[in-house]
Amino acid sequence: MRIYAPVGAVGPAAISRAVTEPTLAGKRIGILDNSKPNAGLLLQRLAEGLAVRTGATVGLVERKNAALPAPDDLLARLAEAEVVLTGSAD
Amino acid sequence: MADPLEMLDIASDDPEAVRDCYAERGWGDGLPLVAPTPERVDAMLATCNADPDEPVAVLPPRSGVATRRVIAVNAVLAGCRPEHLPVLVAAVRALARPEINLRGVNATTHPVAPLLIVHGEIAQTAGYNPGLGAFGPGNVANAATGRALRLILLHVAGAVPGAGDASTQGGPAKYTYCVAENLAESPWGGYAASVGVAAVSAVTVHCGEAPHNFHDMESKDPAAILDKAASAMTSLGSNNAPVSSGEFFVMLCPEHAAACDDAGWTRDRVASYLHERAQMRVGDLRAAFALRAWAPWQEALDDDAMMSVTEHPCNIKIIVVGGPGKHSSVIPSWGMTRSATVPVEV
């Protein structure tokens, strides 16, 4: 006999991923700190290490609440960076 | 129109066989499941006048498209009857409201579960239990509709533990969490109308913890009863402590509600009283939470000031639920979410 699968379709992705930068030399690295413990410190150190190795610069540090989507004006400011580091859990 | 739903071949329609077939694919809630055969799903949709393949909502984090047919499949799995389907469709609409913040609700490490509250005529006609034992167990409508909503979250929204649900301990309210408002014994009329939804039938979704009981066997004075509710609300263990915009749902039993009404207290006065009494010392809250979501004026308060655990009395929702006895409950919020009340379209 036949039964339905329960999951249904997946909706179209609203946002496509940006093309990866071929080199970071001269580019700006942004940080989106989601306010989880030590996220800002960890991302700052990662960005600084990446900048030393690649010739990029670190700028544009933004902070948001982990439980809510980032506001549009915050994303607009971060969009001026070519690379953004984010993501931290408990 | 959404894509046709995938079909599976299965040797038996035994509930255990469906559970095991689904479990191999990472589906189900661990309990036996009613086989969603085309005949059963068609019967579930028989009284539905709308296009069964029209998207009702897209649910995060999976971005799953919830059509009435997909909702009906999950309703069959959970043991719902066709008269429960309009409640589920309305619940899915409510879950998709932006103020619910379903992505956060599903993905958080907190044990939050959406509580579905059924209001109005359909609570009676579709057999929901607003009275004795309303939170369960025993009633088909409450049990099956709440379970179906969780199955929709697992299957359509992708809130699978580990993949789309990071809840550290999980929780029993994540199996089924549905109750009906006791309109017949509410001295203040229906809750939905009180928040501007003047429909014959409606549902509210509140994303919170499991209920925290409080009892008062002796008081006729509303203040004495409600002081116990305020005590249950003022806990460093709830997310309302660090999130000042969070709601509380205070589910009063009919006898406690009658005591308030007998003393001339309205629903708003009950909420205002709880707002005044459910206060904590600002310094204690600061010491407990480095990460806080407070309003700027609250951050400016001195440590010795007392502060209500939610910013405004409107965040304290009063609903009459249950039967004889003097037990009521407080349902704290996950915090970064607001409840939604929507009409049921029959």
Residues A67/B292, Cβ–Cβ less than 8 Å: no
Q: Which residue of B has its CA nearest to A37?
A: B291
DSSP B249: E
- For B187, the enclosing helix (H) or strand (E) is none
What DSSP designation does B314 have? G
- Which carries the bigger pLDDT value, residue B197 or residue B346? B197
> What does DSSP say about strands B64-67 and B55-59: parallel, antiparallel, or unpaired?
antiparallel
> CB distance B70–A10 less than 8 Å?
no
> Rounded CA gap, B66 and B53, in Å?
9
Angle at A47 between CA A43 and CA A52, to 5 degrees: 150
| CA–CA gap between residue B285 and residue B323 (Å, rounded) | 36
Whether the link from the prior residue into B98 is cis, omega within 30° of 0, is no
State the Cα–Cα distance between residues B48 and B51, nearest whole angstrom. Answer: 8
Residue B283 confidence class, pLDDT cut points 50, 70, 90: very high
Residue A9 touches partner B, C-beta closer than 8 Å: yes
**Average pLDDT in chain B:** 97
Report field, pTM of the whole predicted structure over 0.80 = yes
Strand ranges (E), B137-288: 178-180, 201-208, 212-215, 248-252, 279-281
Name the residue of chain A whose CA is nearest to B7's CA.
A4
Measured between beta carbons, the chain B residues lying within 8 angstroms of A35 are: 291
Q: Per-residue confidence of chain A (90 residues) as pLDDT tens digits? A: 999 999 999 987 666 667 778 888 999 999 999 888 889 999 999 999 999 999 999 988 888 888 888 999 999 999 999 999 998 777
* List of chain A residues whose C-beta atoms are within 8 Å of the C-beta of residue B70: 6-8
Mutant choice from A2, A7, A65, A90 vs B, greatest count of B C-beta within 10 A: A7
Burial class (CB in 10 A: 0-12, 13-18, 19+), B43: middle
Distances from the Cα of B311 to the Cαs of B98, B200, B247, B275, B319, in angstroms?
A: 20, 31, 9, 8, 20
Residues 6+ apart with CB under 8 A from B46: B82
Residue A67 lies in a domain: yes
Q: Nearest by CB to B35, which of A3, A67, A90?
A: A3
Percent of residues, chain B, with pLDDT higher than 70: 99
CA dihedral B262, B264, B270, B273 (to 10 degrees): -120
Prediction ipTM score: 0.88
Question: Which residue range(s) make up the domain with A68?
Answer: 28-86
User: How many Å apart are CA A80 and CA B77, to the nearest integer?
Assistant: 49
Q: What is the pLDDT of residues B138-182, one digit of tens each?
A: 999 999 999 999 999 999 999 999 999 999 999 999 999 999 999
> Distances from the Cα of A12 to the Cαs of A9, B3, B158, B252, in angstroms?
9, 12, 15, 43
Is the minimum CB–CB distance between A15 and chain B shorter than 8 Å?
no
Nearest to B164 by CA among B209, B116, B96, B107: B107
Q: How confident is the model at residue B1 (pLDDT cuts 50, 70, 90)?
A: very low
Chain A positions touching B27 (Cβ under 8 A) are 5-7
Of A1, A3, A68, the CB nearest to B101: A68
Name the DSSP class of B225. H
The angle at the Cα of A51, spanning A48 to A55, to the nearest 5 degrees, equals 155
Domain count, chain A: 1
A7 touching B (Cβ < 8 Å): yes
Dihedral sign of CA atoms B259, B265, B267, B272 in order: negative
Residue A6 lies in a domain: no
Query: Does A8 lie at the interface with B, CB-CB under 8 angstroms?
Result: yes
Would you state the torsion angle of the CA atoms of residues B25, B31, B36, B40, taken in this order, to the nearest 10 degrees?
180
- Write down the pLDDT at residue A20: 76
Contact B2, B51 (CB under 8 A): no
For residue B151, list chain A residues with Cβ-Cβ distance below 8 A: 6
Is B3's pLDDT higher than 70?
Answer: no
Residue B276, CA distances (Å) to B74, B204, B270, B283, B316 in order: 43, 25, 10, 18, 11
Q: How many CB atoms lie within 10 A of CB B65?
A: 22
Is residue A69 within 8 angstroms of chain B, CB to CB? yes
Task: With respect to residue A16, please indicate whether it lies within any of the assigned structural domains.
Answer: no
Express each pLDDT in B210-252 by its tens digit.
999 999 999 999 999 999 999 999 999 999 999 999 999 999 9
| A22, part of any domain | no
Whether A15 is covered by a domain: the verdict is: no
Count of pairs with CB atoms under 8 A, one residue in A, one in B: 96
Contact (CB<8Å) B2/A89: no
| Euclidean distance between CA atoms A9 and B148, whole angstroms | 18
Q: Is residue A12 part of a domain?
A: no
What are the start-end ranges of the E strands in chain B?
7-9, 55-59, 64-67, 113-120, 178-180, 201-208, 212-215, 248-252, 279-281, 306-308, 316-320, 327-332, 340-343
A5 within a domain of the structure (yes/no): no
pLDDT tens by residue, B64-119: 999 999 999 999 999 999 999 999 999 999 999 999 999 999 999 999 999 999 99
For testing contact with chain A, the best of B294, B336, B338 (most A CBs within 10 A): B336
CA distance A86 to chain B (A): 17
CB contact under 8 A, B77 and A13: no
Token representation of residue B188? 């203040």
E runs forming strands in A1-90: 2-4, 28-33, 57-63, 83-86
CB-based contact B67 A11, cutoff 8 Å = no
Q: Provide, as residue numbers in chain B, all residues whose Cβ is less than 8 Å from the Cβ of A11.
A: 55, 58, 63-65
To the nearest 10°, the Cα dihedral for B304, B306, B311, B316? 150
**Amino acid (one-letter) located at A20:** T
CA atoms within 13 Å, Cβ hemisphere of B323: 8
The answer to whether residue A56 is domain-embedded is yes
Cα torsion B310, B312, B313, B318: sign: negative
The number of C-alpha atoms within 13 Å of B109 and in the hemisphere containing its C-beta is 6
Decide if A68 and B336 are in contact by the 8 Å CB cutoff.
Answer: yes
